[in-house]
Amino acid sequence: MTARLPLSERIGYGLGDMASSMFWKIFSYYLPFFYSNIFGLRLDQVGLLLVVTRIWDAVSDPMMGILADRTRSRLGKYRPYLLWMALPFALCGIFLFTTPAFGPTGKLVWAYVTYLLMMTVYTGINVPYGAMLGVMTDSSSEKTVLSSFRMFFAYGGSFLAVLCWEPFCRALGGYASPAGWQHAMMAVALMTLLLFVGCFSLTRERIRSANTVSVGKDLAALLRNGPWWILIACALCSNLFMTVRGSTVAYFFNDIVGPDAHVFGLLFYAGLFLGVGEVSNMAGVALTVPVAARLGKKTAWQLCFLALAVLSAVFFWIPATPGGFVWMLVVQVLVSILTGIISPLVWSMYADVSDYAEERSGSASTGLIFSSSSMAQKFGGAFGGAAVMWLLAAFGYQTAAADATAITQSAEALMGLRLLMSWIPAGIALLAAAIMTVYPLTTARIATIHDSLSSRRG
């Protein structure tokens, strides 16, 4: 069994998701608001855009997984993509937040082309990055540690991105200005480029897993993999939960909290609320290894989501008052600690599912299995973000420039914002806990699988 990995390599692996998460959280939290209130699309157009782009992801993720599984280079199977795709990743982020001087139709086409391009490149770097977890070590506990480092750095990157995003926009051109958003993304894109290069430099592939069957047999085996289906459904719910809440925050603060709210003497803006959440996520990640060791991954997942359902429901009753703002932060801290525990569990459990598949078929398809996790993440984000747009439109929400004060939202629209921050994610959390009930890969089952694989690998 692979020895404990050096700290530098654990940190190096974390740098990769730090880069990805800086983009992902900005996309999840601010891109819908950008499209509707800065770029100039209608809410229904934004909702359809979010869904259509992820239909392509449903195809591109497994394709990328199959390609990565069959890549052969002196740098490894998955690791080279970190170097090859780092610059395109940064450039596509800048294009995504660029507002061209086109008419309505031209701008809509630009939005589709740049978003599809961004998600394609995101897949090209993120699927191989995720699959690396399966070939850096064969130790299940070390995979959980790597997952924890991954998510700790991911939330660290997310914290920096969401806390600084609005100040960056204001300083580099204005929060209501398309130029401000484009220039802010240029700064973030440069950071992601450097982080991916660092991840490539500090990591190594050690497990020489071999793919010995055809693509068709790989896909057939995947479709017969029961734990994979269950984990896909759970991951979809997890990302749906986080995206619904995250996509609503900018609107919630714009129209319910207001631009002049303060808490503990600080301006209470969306970036502060989200930034506190990212720091709390990091605390949750630090708890993942001991919690999973004590409870098992399956039980830890279920208990976390049951608690998330309760906390989400409580958020509905918190008033938009100075005292209420404090309680909003308290709930945000607790919710984020729990999602911080959940996120590394998902990646570690995908590694277990990959081992389960190899033990059954004798052929490793790590990239294909990890690509499904990316697919679930993107589908959850797509339908979560689209649902927010469509529900806001159904509730009668009125879009305006980010700094406009003339628009007064209806009581129905404000109620819709409250529901999107509370009861709707609470229902999703309950569904996630219920689905995990039938997941069969317990701690004892995984130990048996690892013993079998160790004897085969020698």
Q: What is the pLDDT of residues 68-123, one digit of tens each?
A: 888 888 888 899 999 999 999 999 999 999 999 999 999 999 999 999 999 899 98
**Single-letter amino acid, residue 350:** Y
Which tops the pLDDT comparison, 69 or 165? 165
* Residue-level pLDDT at 413: 92
> Bridge-partner residues for 267, per DSSP?
262
Please state the rounded mean pLDDT for residues 260-281: 89
User: 15 pLDDT band (50/70/90 cuts)?
Assistant: very high
Which tops the pLDDT comparison, 390 or 4? 390
User: Count of alpha carbons within 13 Å of 230, Cβ hemisphere only?
Assistant: 17
Is residue 450 scored above 50 in pLDDT? Answer: yes
User: 216 pLDDT band (50/70/90 cuts)?
Assistant: low
Is the distance from CB of 338 to CB of 307 less than 8 angstroms? yes
Q: Which of 270, 273, 386, 274 is nearest to 32 (CA)?
A: 386
Structure tokens at 60: 């591109």
User: In percent, how much of the chain has pLDDT > 70?
Assistant: 88
**Single-letter amino acid, residue 40:** G
Which tops the pLDDT comparison, 211 or 120? 120
**Single-letter amino acid, residue 288:** T
Is residue 212 scored above 80 in pLDDT? Answer: no
User: In percent, how much of the chain has pLDDT > 90?
Assistant: 45
Please state the rounded mean pLDDT for residues 283-305: 90
Q: Given this structure, which CATH class describes domain 12-201+215-452?
A: mainly alpha
Residue 149's CB: how many other CB atoms inside 10 A? 22
Please state the rounded mean pLDDT for residues 45-58: 82
- CA-to-CA separations, 184 to 68, 98, 274, in angstroms, rounded: 32, 11, 17
Is residue 213 scored above 80 in pLDDT? Answer: no
Is residue 427 scored above 90 in pLDDT? Answer: yes
* Residue-level pLDDT at 182: 97
**Single-letter amino acid, residue 177:** S
CA 56, chain centre distance (Å)? 17
The secondary structure of residue 262, as a DSSP letter, is E
User: 214 pLDDT band (50/70/90 cuts)?
Assistant: low
Structure tokens at 428: 């999703």
pLDDT in tens, 324-369: 999 999 999 999 999 999 888 887 788 788 777 777 766 556 666 7
* Residue-level pLDDT at 71: 81
**Single-letter amino acid, residue 210:** A
Is the distance from CB of 86 to CB of 193 less than 8 angstroms? yes
Looking at 170-174, 188-192, 355-359, which range is the least confident one?
355-359
* Residue-level pLDDT at 374: 64
* Residue-level pLDDT at 226: 74
The secondary structure of residue 78, as a DSSP letter, is S
Which tops the pLDDT comparison, 45 or 64? 45
> Bridge-partner residues for 266, per DSSP?
263
> Bridge-partner residues for 262, per DSSP?
267
Helices 443-457 and 322-361, axial angle in degrees (round to 10): 40
* Residue-level pLDDT at 402: 46
* Residue-level pLDDT at 210: 54
For the range 45-49, what are the long-range contacts, defined as Cβ-Cβ under 8 Å and sequence gap of 24 or more?
45/108, 46/386, 46/389, 47/385, 47/386, 47/387, 47/388, 47/389, 47/390, 47/393, 48/386, 49/111, 49/112, 49/115
Count H helices and E strands in the chain, helices first: 17, 2
Which tops the pLDDT comparison, 226 or 415? 415
Structure tokens at 411: 């009581």
* Separation between Cα atoms, residue 413 and residue 428, nearest integer Å: 21
H-helix or E-strand spanning residue 192: helix 178-202
Is the distance from CB of 128 to CB of 79 less than 8 angstroms? yes
